[in-house]
């Protein structure tokens, strides 16, 4: 056993533990106007968030999740492209006490999404539909699975009061959410 290992030379001072949320909030207080996230779109569009903006958005979204019944330890599926909204959603889930279940974009069949959601016993599915129509077919198929119907882009009875399916951005193709 090495004399430099933890077992042979334990710490003399205890670790100071912080949750991810505590560390994040501390940093937000220290650097409120500093950019924390910068996103460059394929089209050259630049978006960014400061620590304060990220903290405000995640706190608001976390409160929304809690108001919809999300409790500590609930698993929440998260699906979408690499965007600022995705980061906000991930932090909000953590702030609400939930556990993030990442769903990969390499999914080619909505049944795979449904299997992950149901096997992990997720309480909600957060989806970033992106800025175009790239994920719409999968989204409409997923909505159909939630509703146990045939996929269609004409859902008149679906609205934002459904706590199990939340979109991270407005979409002209999903006006009722």
- In tens, the pLDDT along 6-16 reads 666 777 788 78
pTM of the full structure: 0.78
Indicate the length of the chain as a whole number. 177
Which positions ≥6 away from 122 have C-beta within 8 Å? 74, 75, 76, 77, 101, 116
176: its two tokens: 């009722």
- Dump pLDDT digits (tens) for 46-105: 999 999 999 999 999 999 999 988 999 999 999 888 889 999 999 999 999 999 998 876
CA dihedral of 143, 78, 40, 130, whole degrees rounded to 10: 0
CATH class, range 54-167 = alpha beta
Using alpha carbons, list the distances in angstroms from residue 147 to 142, 171, 174.
9, 20, 16
Check if the beta carbon of residue 90 is closer than 8 Å to that of residue 111: no
Neighbours of 140 (CB within 10 A): 19
Q: Which of 109, 9, 142, 122 shows the shortest CA–CA distance to 69? A: 122
């Amino acid at each position: 056993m090495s004399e430099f290992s933890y077992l042979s030379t334990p710490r003399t001072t205890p670790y100071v533990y912080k949750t991810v949320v505590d560390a994040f909030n501390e940093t937000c207080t220290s650097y409120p106007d500093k950019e924390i996230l910068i996103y460059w779109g394929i089209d050259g569009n630049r978006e960014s968030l400061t620590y304060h903006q990220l903290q405000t958005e995640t706190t608001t979204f976390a409160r929304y999740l809690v108001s919809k019944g999300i409790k500590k330890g609930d698993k929440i599926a998260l699906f979408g492209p690499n965007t600022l909204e995705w980061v906000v959603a991930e932090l909000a889930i953590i702030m609400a006490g939930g556990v993030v279940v990442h769903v990969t974009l390499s999914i080619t069949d909505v049944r795979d999404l449904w299997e992950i959601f149901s096997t992990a016993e997720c309480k909600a599915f957060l989806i970033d539909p992106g800025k175009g129509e790239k994920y719409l077919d999968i989204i409409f198929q997923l909505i159909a699975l939630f509703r146990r119907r045939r996929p269609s882009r004409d859902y008149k009875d679906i609205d934002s009061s459904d706590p199990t399916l939340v979109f991270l951005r407005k979409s002209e193709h999903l006006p009722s959410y």
